Chain A
Amino acid sequence: GAGVSQSPSNKVTEKGKDVELRCDPISGHTALYWYRQSLGQGLEFLIYFQGNSAPDKSGLPSDRFSAERTGGSVSTLTIQRTQQEDSAVYLCASSLAPGISTDTQYFGPGTRLTVL
């Protein structure tokens, strides 16, 4: 079956512009996560959705970052007024059930964001 998909796969933008990154989770997965992977930093948690609600958004680095999820499915991560330090790979993951951290998180291929 289809895995987690993300679009675009690559995005190059100029400093100060807004960007939107999209994630399509695996059908039926209620939990959705966004992570950021920077060179030498590993994966950093950004936000977690259960359904359309975000019980944990503690990893969002600033108020320039926001995310939403609609219909319990697609999610978009928006970065306003992008800065060069926002350059990273943004990864989305989904899992079937909430409440269990060992429930396998399936990752998408990521969106590689470059801010010039």
Chain B
Amino acid sequence: QKEVEQDPGPLSVPEGAIVSLNCTYSNSAFQYFMWYRQYSRKGPELLMYTYSSGNKEDGRFTAQVDKSSKYISLFIRDSQPSDSATYLCAKEAFQGAQKLVFGQGTRLTINP
């Protein structure tokens, strides 16, 4: 079992829809979780990070961590065609680690 599991999709939704992207993880000992966005032929860029459980909101994006169920989510409201990208969830490999463990990435397309 991979340490971070993510449905690779692809996921296709109409413009304006609410998008929900999800990951599960197998080790709940660590605190920091991240979402990266990767456009085609580009490197990933950090979108948001959250600490421990709870929600964090940034504009149209909300990141949510549920440590009891080992579930992390990213919600995108009022989705735009420019949101079309691959979204990767990640967490620190272990507390204080320098390396990140990534999910497989979900390819998202927002249709105008």
| Chain B residues closer than 8 Å to A31, beta-carbon distance | 98
- Give min CB distance, A35 to chain B, whole Å: 8
- Give min CB distance, A21 to chain B, whole Å: 14
A102 CB contact (under 8 Å) in B8, B32, B104:
B32
- Cross-chain pairs A/B with CB under 8 angstroms, 8 sampled: A35-B102, A43-B100, A48-B99, A55-B98, A91-B44, A102-B32, A102-B51, A108-B43
| Interface footprint category on B | 20 to 34
Residues B43 and A101 in contact, CB atoms below 8 Å apart:
no
| Chain B residues closer than 8 Å to A71, beta-carbon distance | none
**A70-96: contact bitstring with B at CB < 8 Å (1 yes, 0 no)?**
000000000000000000000101000
- Say yes or no for A99: interface residue by CB 8 A criterion: yes
- Say yes or no for A42: interface residue by CB 8 A criterion: yes
A45 CB contact (under 8 Å) in B51, B96, B99:
B99
Give 18 A-B pairs besides A101-B93, A105-B100 with Cβ atoms closer than 8 angstroms. Answer: A33-B99, A35-B102, A41-B104, A42-B102, A42-B105, A44-B102, A45-B99, A45-B100, A48-B99, A50-B98, A55-B98, A59-B99, A91-B44, A101-B100, A102-B92, A107-B44, A109-B41, A110-B42
- Give min CB distance, B94 to chain A, whole Å: 9
- Say yes or no for A98: interface residue by CB 8 A criterion: yes
Q: A45-B101, A102-B49 are contacts. A107–B43 as well, Cβ < 8 Å?
A: yes
- Say yes or no for A4: interface residue by CB 8 A criterion: yes
Instruction: Report which A residues bind B (CB closer than 8 A).
Output: 4, 31, 33, 35, 40-45, 48, 50, 55-56, 59, 91, 93, 98-99, 101-102, 104-110
A-contacting residues, B61-112, CB 8 Å? 88, 90, 92-93, 96-105
B104 CB contact (under 8 Å) in A4, A42, A104:
A42
